[in-house]
Amino acid sequence: MRLSVYLPHSSRSFIAAFIGKSLTLFAAKKCFVAKRNIAMCFPELSKSEQKILLKKTLYSIGMMPFETALSWWAPDKSLAKIVDYDGLEHLQSAVKKGRGVILLTGHFTSMELGGRLMMLQHPMHVMFNNMKTHF
């Protein structure tokens, strides 16, 4: 995985799509649960839109190992090129006032990379709790 940080994004994306498609075979029960959850949470979406959302979700899971590798081993300079911050002024304002800040996020696949990218802007500690079930 350490070497994957030197792959072009297009190669990582291709492999992630392959992993995502493979999950439908090797983790069929989990994919069924994800499909059912999407249908329940987004009933306003058509069946084809729900299918697209499931495909994007599986792609995101396939991309997770690469994002983890980037968060551990990619140079700061290359990471700085791939991020746009929205609302960073709120963090900077609180820090300027000497106030502590807790940034909270959901347990998304890019969480680890997001923590690393935030550390490029301000020194901080990143913590997470492992999920009980994995794909």
- Model confidence over 78-102: pLDDT tens digits? 999 888 889 999 999 999 999 888 8
DSSP state of 110: T
DSSP state of 3: G
Distance CA 27, CA 120 (A): 36
Q: Can you give the pTM of this predicted structure? A: 0.77
Question: Mean pLDDT in the chain?
Answer: 90
* CB 109 within 8 Å of CB 60: yes
